[in-house]
C-alpha cells in the first residue's frame, strides 16, 4: 500500500497540484514578504552581543517564522503546473512546513510563559537549557509523528479505519491547547502589571513594554492560528456539509498561517527601539551604497569615454606624423 502523510490528507481532495499562477500569487506575495522581513529582523538579532532569555526566544520564533515562509513559497511554487518535482520531495517539504508551523505555536507559548513567570515570580530564573531542551523535544516529537504517518501508515489504514480523523483531532487539539496557554499566560501577565506594578518607574516601564510586545504577538497568533484551527475543523469534520469547502483549508494553510509569520518581524520593528535605529541605519547605509555605486558607475563611464577620445586623438596624431 502507498504510505500517506498529513500533507496527503490535506491535499488529497483540496487545491489541485496544477493550479494556475494567479490562484497562488497573493499567498506567495505574503510568504515572500515574510521571508524578507524575517531575514532583516534575524540580522538585527544576530548582530547583538548580549541577549536576554526573551530575545533568545524571539530569535527562535524568528527562525521558525523564516522557515515557515520559505517552505510556504516552495509549496506554493510546487502547486503551479509549470514546476515539476518528485513526489518524495513534495511530501517532505509539506511535512516540514506543518512541523515548523506547529513549532511556531510552541515558541509563542514559551515566550508568553517566560514573560508570565518573570512577572509573577521575579526571583525565579528560567534556565535557558530547559527552554532549548523543550524546543528540541517538541520538534522531535512532531517530526517523528509526521514521519511515521508519511512512511509507515498506508493509505487504506489511514482513511478507511478512521486514523485520519484521529490524526487531525490530535493536531487540532494541540493547536487549541497552545492558543489556550498563550491566552492564559498573557492574561496573568497583564493582571500582574495591572494590580501589582513594580515600585521603580524604570522597571515598570520595561515590564510594560515587554509585556505589551508579547501580548501583541500573542493576539495575532491566537487570531490567525485560530482561523487555521477553525478552517481545519470545519473541513475535516464538517466537510461533507460544505459545498467545495477546500477553500477553507487553503485559506487557513496559505493565508492565515504565513501571514502570522510575516507579521511577527514587523511587530519587532515597531516595538523595539534598537531595531528602529537599526532599520534607519540599514536604510541609510543601503541608500548611500546605492548612490555611491551609481556615482562610481558614472565616473567609470566618464573615464571610458575619455579613454576612447584620447585613443582617437592619438591615432589621428600618428596618422599626421606618417603623412609628414
Residue 16 above 50 pLDDT? no
d(CA 49, CA 35): 24
Q: What is the pLDDT of residue 239?
A: 57
Q: What is the average per-residue pLDDT within 69-87?
A: 75
In this predicted model, what pLDDT tens digit does every residue of 29-40 receive, in sequence order?
Answer: 898 999 999 998
pLDDT band at 255 (very low <50, low <70, confident <90, very high): confident
Q: Is residue 19 part of a domain?
A: yes
Task: Supply angle C-alpha 163, 102, 135, rounded to 5.
Answer: 115
Q: What is the average per-residue pLDDT within 154-173?
A: 71
pLDDT band at 186 (very low <50, low <70, confident <90, very high): very high
Q: Is residue 29 part of a domain?
A: yes
| Grid coordinates given for 249 | 483549508
Residue 195 above 50 pLDDT? yes
Q: Is residue 306 part of a domain?
A: no
d(CA 197, CA 44): 31
Q: Is residue 87 part of a domain?
A: yes
Instruction: Please answer whether residues 120 and 163 qualify as being in contact, where contact means their C-beta atoms are separated by less than 8 angstroms.
Output: no
Q: What is the pLDDT of residue 231?
A: 82
How many percent of the chain have pLDDT more than 90?
16
Q: What is the pLDDT of residue 65?
A: 93
Q: Is residue 222 part of a domain?
A: yes
Q: Is residue 296 part of a domain?
A: no
Residue 159 above 70 pLDDT? no
Residue 2 above 50 pLDDT? no
In this predicted model, what pLDDT tens digit does every residue of 100-147 receive, in sequence order?
Answer: 989 999 999 999 998 888 888 877 777 777 888 888 898 888 888 888
Residue 52 above 90 pLDDT? no
Instruction: Please answer whether residues 232 and 9 qualify as being in contact, where contact means their C-beta atoms are separated by less than 8 angstroms.
Output: no
pLDDT band at 165 (very low <50, low <70, confident <90, very high): confident
The domain tally of the chain equals 1
Q: What is the pLDDT of residue 158?
A: 64
- Computed over every residue of the chain, the mean pLDDT equals 77
pLDDT band at 234 (very low <50, low <70, confident <90, very high): confident
Q: What is the pLDDT of residue 1?
A: 42
Q: What is the pLDDT of residue 246?
A: 65
Tell which wins on pLDDT, 320 or 13: 320
Residue 87 above 80 pLDDT? no
In this predicted model, what pLDDT tens digit does every residue of 262-307 receive, in sequence order?
Answer: 999 989 888 877 777 777 777 777 777 766 666 666 667 766 777 7
Q: What is the average per-residue pLDDT within 185-214?
A: 78
pLDDT band at 183 (very low <50, low <70, confident <90, very high): very high
Q: Is residue 301 part of a domain?
A: no
139's CB contacts (< 8 A; 6+ apart) are 99, 103
pLDDT band at 84 (very low <50, low <70, confident <90, very high): low
Region of poorest pLDDT, from 67-81, 91-105, 306-320: 306-320
Q: What is the pLDDT of residue 78?
A: 77
Q: Where are the alpha helices (DSSP H) in the chain?
A: 6-11, 21-47, 53-79, 87-120, 128-151, 155-160, 163-195, 201-238, 246-251, 257-271, 273-323
Q: What is the pLDDT of residue 182?
A: 93
Q: Is residue 105 part of a domain?
A: yes
- Residue 139 domain boundaries: 6-271
CATH number where 256 lies: 1.20.1070.10
Instruction: Please answer whether residues 104 and 60 qualify as being in contact, where contact means their C-beta atoms are separated by less than 8 angstroms.
Output: no
Amino acid at each position: 500500500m502507498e504510505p500517506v502523510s498529513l500533507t496527503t490528507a490535506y491535499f488529497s481532495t483540496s487545491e489541485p497540484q496544477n493550479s494556475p499562477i494567479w490562484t497562488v500569487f497573493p499567498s506567495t506575495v505574503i510568504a515572500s514578504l515574510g521571508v524578507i522581513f524575517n531575514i532583516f529582523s534575524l540580522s538585527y538579532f544576530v548582530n547583538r552581543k548580549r541577549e536576554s532569555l526573551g530575545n533568545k526566544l524571539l530569535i527562535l520564533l524568528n527562525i521558525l517564522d523564516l522557515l515557515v515562509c520559505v517552505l510556504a513559497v516552495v509549496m506554493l511554487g510546487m502547486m503551479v503546473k509549470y514546476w515539476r518535482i518528485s513526489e518524495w520531495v513534495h511530501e517532505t517539504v509539506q511535512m516540514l512546513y506543518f512541523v515548523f508551523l506547529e513549532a511556531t505555536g510552541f515558541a509563542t507559548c514559551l515566550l508568553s510563559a517566560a514573560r508570565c513567570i518573570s512577572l509573577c515570580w521575579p526571583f525565579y530564573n528560567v534556565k535557558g537549557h530547559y527552554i532549548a531542551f523543550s524546543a528540541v523535544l517538541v520538534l522531535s516529537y512532531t517530526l517523528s509523528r509526521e514521519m511515521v504517518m508519511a512512511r509507515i501508515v498506508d493509505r487504506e489504514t489511514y482513511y478507511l479505519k478512521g486514523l485520519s480523523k484521529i490524526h487531525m483531532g490530535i493536531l487540532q487539539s494541540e493547536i487549541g491547547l497552545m492558543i489556550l496557554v498563550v491566552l492564559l499566560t498573557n492574561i496573568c501577565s497583564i493582571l500582574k502589571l495591572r494590580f501589582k506594578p513594580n515600585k521603580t518607574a524604570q522597571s515598570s516601564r520595561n515590564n510594560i513594554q515587554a509585556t505589551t510586545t508579547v501580548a501583541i504577538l500573542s493576539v495575532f497568533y491566537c487570531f490567525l492560528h485560530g482561523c487555521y484551527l477553525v478552517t481545519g475543523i470545519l473541513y475535516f469534520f464538517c466537510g461533507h456539509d460544505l459545498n467545495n469547502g477546500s477553500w477553507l483549508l487553503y485559506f487557513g494553510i496559505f493565508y492565515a498561517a504565513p501571514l502570522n509569520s510575516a507579521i511577527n518581524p514587523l511587530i519587532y520593528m515597531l516595538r523595539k527601539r534598537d531595531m528602529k535605529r537599526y532599520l534607519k541605519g540599514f536604510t541609510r547605509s543601503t541608500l548611500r551604497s546605492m548612490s555611491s555605486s551609481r556615482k562610481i558607475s558614472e565616473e567609470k563611464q566618464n573615464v571610458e569615454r575619455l579613454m576612447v577620445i584620447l585613443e582617437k586623438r592619438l591615432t589621428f596624431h600618428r596618422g599626421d606624423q606618417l603623412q609628414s
